[in-house]
Amino acid sequence: MDSLALHIYHLDEGEEADRVIQLLKPFGIGDKWPVERPTEQTNAIFVPVEIRDIATEVWEIRQQKLNKSLALLRALDRKTVDAIRALDLSVAMRVHTTEFFLPLESEFVSECGRLGLEICIYNSKACEAGSMWTGRWFSRFTAH
C-alpha cells in the first residue's frame, strides 16, 4: 500500500477549505493528523495516514497503515461527514497501491460504512501496464 488518506474533494483553496478544516479540527485533524490543503492539481484536502516505523515487509506496512487509519476513522463522526457532504463535497478513504492483492480488514470497511465513506482504490501498476483500468479507479465502492 503506497498511500492511504482521508480524501475530501471537489473544493478549492480558500474559504471553502478553511470551513472544512474547521469542521475537522475537533477530531484532532490539523494537530494530531496532518492536513494537505488543496492545490490546483488536487482540488482536495488530504489527511494522510503515515507511519514512522518502517517495516520491511509489504504486508507489515499495509497492516500498520490500516491500524493507524482505524484511529482516524474512529475519531470522526457521521454528523461531521454529512456536514461536509452538505457543502457539495465528496468524502472517501483513498488507497493507492501497486499490490495485486489488497485485503482490507472488516473493521476498516465497517468504520468507513459507519461514516458513509467511499473507499477508492487506485492500482498504479495496473494503469502503467495498460490494463483495462487505465486512467480510472481500480475499485470504488461505498461500504454499508
Give the model confidence (pLDDT) of 75-93 as tens digits. 999 999 999 999 999 999 9
Q: Are 85 and 91 in contact (CB under 8 A)?
A: yes
Number of domains making up the chain: 1
The pLDDT assigned to 136 comes to 44
The pLDDT assigned to 129 comes to 52
Q: What is the mean pLDDT of the chain?
A: 84
pLDDT above 80 (res 101): no
Q: How big is the CA angle at 104 (ends 98 and 109), to the nearest 5 degrees? A: 130
* Cα Rg, the chain, nearest whole Å: 15
Residue in the block written with cell 501498476: 125
Range of the domain at 30: 3-142
Nearest residue to 36 (alpha-carbon basis) of 26, 49, 27 = 49
Percent of the chain scored above 90 by pLDDT?
53
Top-confidence residue, 18 or 135 = 18
The pLDDT assigned to 20 comes to 96
